[in-house]
Structure 1
Amino acid sequence: MTKKNKTSQSVDSPILDETQPHQINAPSFKGTGIKMEKPFINEHGVVIGDSYYDSPQSPLNNWSEEVDPSVMAGDEWVHPTNDIGWNTSENRDLLEQKQVPQGVPFMHPTKDVSKSTD
């Protein structure tokens, strides 16, 4: 996404612990180095990334047989960190690969305490 598509207006968004709390299955960006971004208003006046998808100017709210779906194509319609695409297993894997390991809980430095437990 290019910065030129964003307007100077911003939209408030609840970001809690590097995730969007209103997306129940959204992955966490915590520890990935990826900074959560607030919603923005694209050059068409449509709020992108607020998860409401209800801007009055949105083609979704002004749909007719004359509307060409390609008007909603391009990076200006995709939010970099609050997009449904992050919920796919492939993209979740990408995030997990970027996360800094937090250590293994209950690990003994010289004894394998899990040996013969299964």
Structure 2
Amino acid sequence: MKKKLDSPIIDDTQPHQINAPSFKGTGIKPQAPFVNDHGVVIGDSKYASENSPLENWSEDTDPEIMAGDEWIHPTNDIGWNSTENRELLEAKRAPQPPFMHPDKDVSTDTD
């Protein structure tokens, strides 16, 4: 039986990362953490896993072992905090109408 992993995602946001973008309204749904082929939890934002090569580093560890897509979480990755990736998310959001107070006539007696 698989152990359920705790997800750091709350309401399509990552509040534990101060500059993390919101996925709300983008059509991209945040994905749950997963365990890769090396038994390392990816995407839980705890950044330490008992089976991680980083936690068991030695002179014999080949850094290439940590290369590839299995080490990258699709929605909980520090790369989303970059300006370029935030712009990609913003482009997916539907444009919002201008902010207005429809019940307030701010132009009264000005014309």
TM-score past 0.5 threshold = yes
Match of 2:33 in 1: 39
**1:65 matched to 2:56:** no
CA distance, structure 2, for counterparts of residue 71 and residue 46 of structure 1: 12
Percent of aligned positions with the same letter in both sequences? 67
- How many residues are aligned here? 102
CA distance, structure 2, for counterparts of residue 103 and residue 25 of structure 1: 25
| 1:17 CA displacement | 2.1
Match of 1:101 in 2: 95
Kept in 2, the 8 Å contact 1:10–1:41? The answer is: no
Kept in 1, the 8 Å contact 2:33–2:43? The answer is: yes
Runs of 4+ in structure 1 deviating by more than 2 angstroms, as ranges, are: none
Q: Which amino acid aligns with 2:26?
A: T
Kept in 2, the 8 Å contact 1:9–1:41? The answer is: no
CA RMSD of aligned residues (A): 1.8
Bigger CA radius of gyration: 2
CA distance, structure 1, for counterparts of residue 92 and residue 71 of structure 2: 25
C-alpha distance after superposition, 1:36-86 (max 9, x if no partner): 111111111100001111110000101112111110011100000000000
Q: Which amino acid aligns with 1:43?
A: D
| Structure 2 residues without counterparts, runs of 5 or longer | none
C-alpha distance after superposition, 1:68-112 (max 9, x if no partner): 11100111000000000001100000000001122111388xxxx
| Structure 1 residues without counterparts, runs of 5 or longer | 1-7, 114-118
**TM norm structure 1:** 0.79
Query: Does the residue aligned with 2:54 lie in a helix, a strand or coil?
Result: helix
